Amino acid sequence: MTSARPLVIDCDPGHDDAVALLLAVGSPQIDLRAVTTTFGNCSVDDATRNAVQILTLAGVTDVPVARGAAGALDGVSTLGNYVHGASGLDGPAMPDPAFEVAQEGAVELLRRVIESSDEPVTVAATGPITNVAQLLLDHAQVKDGIAEIIFMGGSTERGNHTPTAEFNTFADPEALDVVLRSGLPVRMVGLNLTHQALATPEVVRRMAAMDHTVGQTSAAWMGFFGDSYNKVWEFDAPPVHDPCTIAALIDPDVISWREAFVAVELDGRWTRGTTVVDLHHRYAEERPNCQVAMTLDAGRYWDLVIEAIDRVGRRP
């Protein structure tokens, strides 16, 4: 087997971010070097506590967690507690944090981990991409140490937080604009893809059948998340967005991709935060800047997620 991929995850846990973290720490193909947190599904303070509790649940106490942005580059703090609950991770009880949050901030931790790595580091962003944009703005030299940026956000079709804008991109469109203009390899995992990653009753049953706390907790997260998605968007089963970014790093065949020019709307009164994905090269003067996720092998995806959760849960 080739060596594990060095990875940092910038997230706003968040029920689906939580499953993404479990997928990462439960997969031998991934070498998780750091977790950084951002506002989004909840306040950054709640997201930070949640991240430490999730890693504690997974028995992982040696991956640093650093607190990041409390709001977007423009200072605005759009929160998604309407989906994830007051704590940002409502539902099952979580263990008390087993380790302290890093003293340094998210941008500094990202910079230090990337610059000290002996090989390029992949950056996965599953919340508003503010920390990653700030890193690129403040420390442009780190680009040489970044293998790629893969982010959950945007959509080739409709949005969720607004009719046209997906939550992460709506929460900080200027930040996504910075990333899209960075010249780095960027992969976009949008709602068009993640709405294929539904936690159906069969998926939840597989989680609930695991005879350990990690599996039971994951099933309970899907219960809360599913109720929210049914109330707000009338889904019968919740789309578990964020682990799709990690699954793509584990198995290159789990998602099909299409190269395209992607822009994010910054000014539209009704469309701010919308990703404009030029799948048919209609903007002849624009060069493709992104690989866009198009089709998910849902069976393979859920096998990867379930196997990782079970691996984590069975660790002594």
How many Å apart are CA 122 and CA 135, to the nearest integer?
A: 14
CB 161 within 8 Å of CB 41: no
Q: What is the DSSP letter of 305?
A: H
CB of 75 to ligand RIB, least distance (A): 19
CB of 314 to ligand RIB, least distance (A): 26
Residue 310 touches which of ligand RIB, Ca ion, none (CB < 5 to 8 A by kind)? none
CB 134 within 8 Å of CB 162: no
Q: Does 218 bind Ca ion (CB under 5 A)?
A: no
Q: Which of residues 104-143 bind ligand RIB (CB under 6 A)?
A: 126-127
Among 10, 17, 46, 265, binds ligand RIB (CB under 6 A): 17
Residue among 84 and 112 whose Cβ is closer to ligand RIB: 84
241 is catalytic: yes
CB 282 within 8 Å of CB 175: no
Phi/psi at 67 (5° precision): -80, 135
CB of 225 to ligand RIB, least distance (A): 9
Catalytic residue among 15, 84, 161, 241: 241
**Conformational region of residue 14, where left means phi above 0, alpha means psi within -120 to 50, and beta covers everything else:** left
Residue whose token pair is 């190269």: 259
CB 176 within 8 Å of CB 153: yes
Compose the 231-270 pattern: x for residues touching ligand RIB by CB under 6 A, - for all others.
Answer: ----------xx----------------------------
Q: Which of residues 85-144 bind Ca ion (CB under 5 A)?
A: 126-127
Q: Does 160 bind ligand RIB (CB under 6 A)?
A: yes
Cα–Cα nearest to 36, from 91, 120, 112:
112
- The encoded tokens of residue 175 equal 């930040």
Q: Which of residues 38-67 bind ligand RIB (CB under 6 A)?
A: 40-41
Binding residues for ligand RIB (CB under 6 A): 12, 14, 16-17, 40-41, 80, 126-127, 152, 160, 166-168, 241-242
